[in-house]
Chain A
Amino acid sequence: MIMNIERQYIALKNNAPSEALKNVPVLSYEAFRERIISCLQDENKHCVSYYGVKTDDNNLRLICCFADDSDNSIQIFSAIIGKDISSLDSAAVESPQVHIFEREIHENSGIMFRGHPWLKPVRFAHNRADTLKTIDNYPFYFIHSEELHEVGVGPVHAGVIEPGHFRFICNGEKVHHLEIQLGYQHRGLEELFISKQDALQSCILSESIAGDTSIGHSLAHSQLIESLSGMEVSEGLQIERCIALELERIAVHIGDTAALCGDIAYQLGQVVCEALRTMVINTTQLWCGNRFGKGLIRPGGSNYPLNSEISDAIVDLTTAISKRFGEVTDCIYLTPGVLTRFDEIGVVTKKQAHIIGAVGPSARTCGIMRDTRKSHPFQYFKKYNIEPVILDSGDVLARGMIRNLEVHESLKIIRDLLKTWSLEKGKIEKPVYSYKLKPENFSVSIVEGWRGEICHSAVTDKDGKICHYKIKDPSFHNWMALALAVRNQEISDFPVCNKSFNLSYCGHDL
C-alpha cells in the first residue's frame, strides 16, 4: 500500500491483500468531487467503481475507485454524506463517465445530484428509494415533432435473448436518438451476497451474475475472497484459471462472430462459427462438466484440477480452432457483401469512448489501450505479458475483427500457459469454504472478462462478515456506447450494432 502525502487516496494493486477500511481516506464531498473531476481529465485513469455504503450511524459513505493504467494502481477515496443531506453537486457534467454511477447512487439512496444532465433510473432495484416509480410506468424520453416517429422494442425481444427496452426516435429510417431502459433482469444479487453469507452460496451466486461470463465473474469473486481472507493460491492454479478465462473468451468471441454473420444472413460464417463454438464449450464441459464453466472456479483451490488428458484435448482444440476459425474469418472479412454491412457502421469515436469510460473490446476498437490483463494484471497474467489487440475505426467491422484477432491471441496464451503448466504442475488444493474474512476491511478485484473489465468489491463489518458487495459488469459502462453507435444510423443497422457489442442485461441489472 502506498499512502499519498496529502492522504487524498490510497493506492491498491489488483489481486493483492485487502486494506483496512479505516485507511481509506475520507474527504469532504467538495474535495471528493474535485478529485473525481481533476483525475478523470487524465486519460490514463477511469472510474472502475463508485457507490454508496450505509454506515452504522445511517450516513452514506461514497467510495470511489479509479484505475490508473500508468502505474497499475487502483486509487480509492471516499466521502461521508450525512443522513440529513438530500442533494449534492454532480460531477457528471465535467466527467460524464460517472453519470451512471451517480444515477445508481441516486436511485438507491434518493440523494439528488444537482446539475446531473439526466438522473434516469438505472434498473428499478427492489430496494430503490422511490418505490412509486416502477419499470412499468417509466416515462420514456420523447420529442414533440410532426416529422419524428418512435419505435419501441422489448422488453421481450424477437430472439432467444434477455429482456431490455429500446426506444428509438427516428427521422424516417434514420435513428435520431436511442434510449435504452434496463432493469427487467434485476434479481437483487448484491443483497443476496449479504443475506447468504455461506461461501458456496456466494460462489453459485457469482456464477449466475452473467451466465455467459461465469468464469470471469466467479474468478473476480474468488479473487476478492482470497484478498479479504489473506489466502494465497499456487501458481499452477493461477495458470489454470487464466486458461479457463481465455477459453471463455474464445467461445464467446466465436459465438458472436456467428451471430454477426447470422444478422446479415451470411450463412456459411454463421454455421461454421456455431459449430466451432460448440467445440470450445464442449472442451470446457470435458474439463469441468459444464459448458459455461460453472463449478470450475472456487476460492483457494479447484474441484477440477487440470490433467494431461484435458490438457491434450485443449491443445488439439487450439490447433483445430486456429486453422478452421482462421479460414472462415478470412472468408468472412473478404466478402464484399459482409463488408458493406460492417464497414463504417455504428462508429464510436475515441473521444466518445474516453468520455463514457468504455472498457474492454468496446474501448480497444476505438484506439484505447485498456486491457486489465496488462494494466492491472491478476493471477498468472502478473507474469505472462499479453499483447492487447488495438483497433481504431470504432465501427462494427472493428468490433467483429477484434474478436477474430483476440481469439488468435487467446489461443497463443493458452498454448504458452499449457507449456508452463506442464513443466511445473504442482498439486492443486481443494476449494476453501471455511475461510475467515478480515474484519472492517475493503478490497477490490478486477478481471478482464471477454466483455472487458469486471470489478467486484466488498466491505466487511467488525465480525468479518460481508456488509456491502458491489458488482460492476463491463456492460455498465458500455451500454452507452451502443446508444451512441446507432445515432444517425439506419434503424435496420441496429441489430448488427447491438450484436457487435453483445452487452449483458443481467450483468447490468444484477
Chain B
Amino acid sequence: MFKELKILKHHGKQYIEDLRKQSISPLFRGRPLISEKISEEEINAAAAVCPVRAIDSRTGSIDLGRCVFCKECAFLLPESIEFTNDYRMACNDRNDLIIKPGDKSSLVINEMKIRKEIRDLFKGALKLRQVSAGGDNSCEMELSASCNVNFDLGRYGVEFVASPRHADGIVITGPISVNMSRALEITYDAIPEPKIIVLAGTDAISSGIFEGSPAIDRSFLEKHHIDLYVPGNPAHPLTFINGIMDLLGI
C-alpha cells in the first residue's frame, strides 16, 4: 500500500492542462515558414532535394499533405526555409495544407466547410474507430498516445472504440494498401450515419513516400468526403488533438 502511494507521489500530475498551449521541443518539425524572398534557383534546389515532391517548383510552396518532415530542404536552404515547432497543422480543407512563401500564420479550420451535423451531434462526445491501412505503427501509437495519461483526450468525450457500430467516425492511417482496401470499406459502411472521416499522417493524406506503389489503392478516398486532415510523419498527438478540438468547436 505504502509502496503504491510512493509511486503515485513520484508519478505526480501527468496530464497536460492546456492542450492548446503546450510547449514542445524547439526542434519539433512542425509548420514550415518559407521566406517571401526565396529565389527561383532556391526553389528548384529545394524541389530537387524533396523526397516526396511536396515542394511546388513553380511557386515554392510546401504541401504539408505530402511533406514527410525530413527537413532536408531547410538544411539545404536555412536562410529561406525554416520548420517551426508549431504543431497546429490540422485542416479540413486540403488546399489549406499548402504553405506558400510568406505565409506566417498558424493553420486554422475553415468554419464554413464544417458539416453542420458534426458540431450539433458530436461536440459533447465523439467516438472514433481507427483503421490502419498500411500504416507503419508510428501514427497508430501517436493516436493511442492522444488518449493516454499525458494527453488525455478523453476529457472532452473523444475516444477510440472497439467496434464501428459504436463509432461516429473513422480515423485512417497509412497509404491504404490494396490488401486492406476491402476491410476499410466494410468498416466504414458499418458505422452509422452521420459519420466523419479523419486522415492522420502524411501517408494517409497523400500516400507520402509510398506514392506510385502498385500495392496501394486509394480509391476509397475518391468516394468519400474527408472532414479532417492531420499532417505529420507521424501526426503528433497535439496536432491530432487540436485538429479534433477545432473541428468540434471545443
Contacts and interface: CB of A to CB of B under 8 A. Distances in A.
B70 A200 contact: yes
Contacts of A353: none
B176 to A, nearest CB: 9
Nearest to B134: A187
A331 B7 contact: yes
Nearest to A206: B209
Interface stretch (B98-106, B117-125, B136-144, B221-229): B136-144
* A123, A163, A192, A331: most-surrounded residue (chain B CB, <10 A): A163
B3 A327 contact: yes
B52 interface: yes
Contact of A124 (B27, B150, B179): B179
Interface in B34-83: 49, 51-52, 68-72, 75, 83
A156 B131 contact: yes
Contact of A212 (B141, B145, B177): B141
A100 B186 CA distance: 30
Contacts of A212: 136-138, 141
Given A161-B132, A204-B70, A303 B215 contact: no
B133 interface: yes
Interface stretch (B8-16, B88-96, B108-116, B242-250): B8-16
* A160, A274, A282: most-surrounded residue (chain B CB, <10 A): A160
A289 B27 contact: yes
Contact of A200 (B51, B137, B140, B214): B51
Contact of A183 (B29, B149, B179, B203): B179
A399 to B, nearest CB: 19
B206 interface: no
B219 interface: no
A387 to B, nearest CB: 28
A103 interface: no
B138 A163 contact: no
Given A211-B139, A327-B6, A331-B7, A155 B162 contact: no
Interface in A130-149: 134-136
A275 B145 CA distance: 10
B135 interface: yes
Nearest to A202: B51
Contacts of A191: 213-214
Given A124-B179, A125-B215, A210 B25 contact: no
A274 B149 contact: yes
Contacts of A330: 3
B47 to A, nearest CB: 13
Nearest to A258: B148
A156 B174 CA distance: 13
A287 B148 CA distance: 23
A185 B150 contact: no
Given A187-B210, A324-B10, A162 B132 contact: yes
A180 interface: no
Closest 10 CB pairs of A and B: A211-B138, A188-B215, A211-B136, A158-B162, A289-B27, A126-B215, A188-B213, A201-B51, A271-B149, A160-B130
Interface of B: 3-4, 6-8, 10-11, 14, 24-25, 27-29, 49, 51-52, 68-72, 75, 83, 129-145, 148-150, 160, 162-163, 174-175, 177-180, 182-183, 187, 203, 208-210, 212-216, 233-234, 236
Given A275-B149, A278-B14, A278-B148, 14 more contacts: A124-B179, A126-B215, A163-B180, A187-B177, A200-B51, A200-B70, A204-B51, A204-B209, A278-B150, A285-B24, A286-B27, A291-B234, A292-B141, A328-B7
16 contacts: A126-B215, A160-B144, A161-B140, A186-B215, A187-B215, A211-B139, A212-B141, A271-B148, A271-B149, A275-B11, A275-B149, A278-B150, A289-B28, A290-B233, A294-B70, A506-B134
